[in-house]
Amino acid sequence: MQQVFHRPVSLKDVQTHFCPGCHHGTIHRLVAEAMDHFELQQRTIGVASVGCSVFLYAYFDVDVVEAPHGRASAVATGVKRARPDSFVFTYQGDGDLAAIGTAEIIHAANRGEDITVVFVNNTTYGMTGGQMAPTTLVGQKTSTSPYGRQREKDGAPIRMAELLAQLEGVAYSCRVAVDSPKNLMVAERQIKTAFRYQVEGKGFSFVEVLSSCPTNWGMDPIKANERVGAEMIPYFPLGVFKNVGNL
């Protein structure tokens, strides 16, 4: 008998703390699969951010540094410059990367640091209880936008993958989702492409993954999954915004 499905070796055999229906777990798996695909486990240094993914080291069986909230891409810069032979990735939420860490991500990208950034956009601050994020959709109610996000006062949600694609230093930038088998397969492929950029030393790669947060959206897992396609994708289109090497 042939085993056709197994846990990626880069992922530990443990239960996660993620809420039921949360996409973080799925995204962890895709990242680990890409790591296995390129046989990176032994030379990977992951940089964890502050958010629901703070326990990166508990799930990935790779060396991990924990960064202060928002600073993962600066920490990753220091790691990669000191250990250019290692594979360095950050895993950051939308509050972490697109609010408090905006300066760090833009400048790491602009310098063209040879790192890979996995950006999990769930339109909210998951860990702190569902406050408004820079990616919260207009009209979306959160615990700090109880009347819904107002474009006039709060601005419009930021499209990070498109924004970063503008920078000369960025080699690869895309947005994927994991809400359907089809999207999942594309996500798997594009995360691998992002990894390939660093594996081949071809520059900064960025993958934005649309993700669910059933708990803070006040939805059951199925509804939350449906919201990704119904509300998020229309505003945050999936696609590749930059691919300088056509990898």
Ligand X SMILES: Cc1ncc(C[n+]2csc(CCOP(=O)(O)OP(=O)(O)O)c2C)c(N)n1
Q: Which residues bind ligand X (CB under 6 A)?
A: 50-53, 69, 93-96, 120, 122, 124-128, 133
Which CB atom, from 125 or from 197, has the smaller least distance to ligand X? 125
Binding site for ligand SF4 (CB under 6 A): 18-19, 22, 24, 52, 122, 126-127, 213-216
Residue with tokens 């540094």: 65
Q: Which does 19 bind (CB under 5 to 8 A by kind): another protein, ligand SF4, Mg ion, none?
A: ligand SF4
Residue nearest ligand X (C-beta atom):
93
Determine if 83 is a binding residue for another protein (CB under 8 A).
yes
What are the distances in angstroms from CA 56 to CA 137, 195, 203? Answer: 27, 18, 23
Report, in Å, the least distance between residue 223 CB and another protein.
30
Report, in Å, the least distance between residue 92 CB and ligand X.
6
Which CB atom, from 57 or from 235, has the smaller least distance to another protein? 57
Angle, helix 24-37 to helix 181-199, in steps of 10 degrees: 50
Q: Which does 53 bind (CB under 5 to 8 A by kind): another protein, ligand X, ligand SF4, none?
A: ligand X
Report, in Å, the least distance between residue 177 CB and ligand X.
15
